[in-house]
Structure 1
Amino acid sequence: MSGQDKELARLRARPGTSREPAPPPGMHPLGLSLLKDGRLFVPTSYTPDRPATFALVLHGASGDGRRALEPLVAFAEEAGMVLLAPDARGPSWDRVWLRGWGPDVRYIDRALEHAFARFAVDPRRLVVLGFSDGASYALSLGLTNGDLFSHIVALSPGFAVPETLRGSPRVFVSQGLSDSVLPVDKCGRKVVSQMEKAGLRVRYREFDGGHEVPPAVAREAFDFFTGPDSTD
């Protein structure tokens, strides 16, 4: 792949001084596309004078941002965390179903610019997380843009195919021992081995179960990037 093609995977948006008023607490349409848009969640505790933990949430195949955010709202409210969940341009994320970088990177970049203009964001707790196809994309996009994301959370991923490794994000991976969709031997364990060989800091959690996110694993994943030692 050429250097120009590799640049297709780069995100340009960066947090800074918010310029636009933030929407009120609650869940809101992203407002960037008529058909495939996405959602924002604003916790009741958000205030622009205190930079917030921020999560880019990537849904699984055939999902959407709204459904991806709904099970995370209670965690986000507890942690005072802003959530951004864009919709994929196609049935899944471009790197998964097109095997290349394309419209999803551009839309995510646009969505991040939109959010960063409205929210004060703590760059030490800026996470990309996803489940299934969203987890594979979170790893691939997050490792390529590790100079933006401080943490990556991949819940039942299938693979990780970054263009290059940038920065030193912390990584959390979970996988069910009975996962029949993305088997643990070929997916979770292989992905983690690859990242550890590359010198990345990885916390890996296997659990008794299938292609899912048990409550205890969800709690550990959120504590991973919101806890007191998450920025050490």
Structure 2
Amino acid sequence: MSGARDAAGEAIGRLVPAVLDALAVLEHAARRVDPETLGALAEAVRQRESPLGPALAASQALDWPEGLLPVRDSLHGAAEAAMRGIGTLGGVMETPDPLRAVSRALREYGPACEALYPLAAFLTPVNRFFLTEAAQQDAALVVALSRPGREGTGTMALGGPPGTRGGASLYVPETYDTALPSPLIVALHGGSGDGRRFLWTWLRDARSRGCILLAPTAIGRTWSLQEPDLDGTNIARLMAQVAEGWSVDASRILLTGMSDGGTFAYLHGLSAGARFTHVAPVAAAFHPIMVTLADPLRLRGLPLFILHGAQDWMFPCESAQRAAQMLAAGGAAVRHEEIEDLAHTWPREMNAALLDWFLPCP
């Protein structure tokens, strides 16, 4: 038995860094998706030698001890999803629709993280992967997250299995303290996405800063932009469910979103009765009529952080510039930033800046 455990330990030692390396590749690729450079990106991924395939094959050939089967299943699930993503990414230029293919490739990042995350409390490299670089320097936090969280913390689904239309994925930090109300981030996926996958765009930062993270899934294929009350009512219901189960800081509730999710953040976040204290649309479309639909009293003094890529090929940056000008004229406290090298994708490196703006100084 000790020989089997030793072999399994060696397999873990090979698989963990290989999986984390593959996830880093997918993160890097997601940040750099651009029709102009997609061919070069795909070729770089295709030419890159990954240790993941051999590590997974060696692990699959082992007879794992029964007590380590949950570890094996988590690692194999993460490895298989990451390999699918990288394999698809490397071949996108051979498909009829490369942009659609790259979207399929990058969607594997979420399931890979979902499979891997249960090991964060037991394996130091996994724990550190799901922390920001700044949080990795906080020894007390790293130790606190190196053990299983209490019941009611970690990742979970609301309203059905993860990805269910009209449901949500939820993360409650393992360091959650009922006596201390937690900030809440509500993060809206892009068109045809879902909350199950979009959760992982924000989880590392929420975990590092002690924020509850709610990632709803639109009722339809995308957000109800023509009927904002439809998804808006559902989001409010999900937020109420979170507030009933956990202590939420009502003075710190952020609504953010990407692409269609960012556009819906304008529509829902600026409406009368919305509970969000801060709104941050990213890579979103904006039409002047949205100002007329916004509640003037709510708009007055509302902190708005508008992020957009100067290379955005779907919604030109002029859309964000117009939004910043018109909403500031309406009384909002607008911060507007254009990222020079960003196309139509999420700027993961800006999560920290968004949270610095959203959260009070410690």
* TM bracket (short chain): 0.7 to 0.9
Partner of 2:255: 128
2:156 aligned partner, one-letter code: H
> Is 1:26 equivalent to 2:158 in the alignment?
no
Of 155, 179, 189, which aligns to 2:321? 189
Identity of aligned residues (%): 27
Are 1:81 and 2:211 an aligned pair?
yes
Query: Given that residues 136 and 159 in structure 1 are in contact (C-alpha distance below 8 angstroms), is that contact kept between their aligned partners in structure 2?
Result: yes
Range with greater deviation from structure 2 (29-38 or 190-199): 29-38
The 8 Å contact of residues 129 and 153 in structure 1, kept in 2 or not, is answered as: yes
Partner of 2:188: 58
Report the TM-score, using the length of structure 1 for normalisation: 0.81
Alignment pair present for 1:110 and 2:110: no
Match of 2:170 among 19, 40, 58: 40
Deviations 1:55-105 (Å, cap 9, x if unpaired)? 11111100000111112111001110001111101111112xxx1234312
Partner residue, 1:17 = none
Name the CA shift for 1:59/1:165 in 2 (closer, same or farther; >3 Å): farther
Contact 2:182–2:212 (CA<8 Å) still a contact in 1? yes
Tell me the equivalent position of 1:70: 200
1:104 is aligned with what amino acid? D
SS in 2 for 1:228: coil
Q: Name 2:275's counterpart in structure 1.
A: 148
Q: Deviations over 1:99-131 (max 9, x none)?
A: 123431221122111111011111221111111
**Equivalent AA in structure 2 for residue 204 of structure 1:** H
Provide the alpha-carbon RMSD of the alignment.
2.1
Larger-Rg structure:
2
Is the CA contact 1:130–1:155 (under 8 Å) kept in the aligned structure 2? yes
- Give the Cα separation in 2 of the matches to 1:52 and 1:94: 29
Structure 2 distance, partners of 1:68, 1:169, is 25
**Count of residue pairs brought into register by the alignment:** 204
More strand by share: 1
Q: Relative to structure 1, is the Cα distance of residues 29 and 141 closer, same or farther in structure 2, using a 3 angstrom cutoff?
A: same
State the match for 2:358 in structure 1. 225
Q: Provide closer, same or farther for how the CA distance between residues 154 and 141 of structure 1 changes in structure 2, counting only shifts above 3 A.
A: same
Segments of structure 2 that go 5 or more residues without pairing to the other structure are 1-149
In 2 relative to 1, CA 146–31 (structure 1 residues): closer, same or farther, beyond 3 Å?
closer
Give 5+ residue unaligned stretches, structure 1: 1-21
Equivalent position amino acid for 1:178 in 2? Q
d(CA) in 2 for partners of 1:159, 1:112: 25
2:331 aligned counterpart, secondary structure: coil
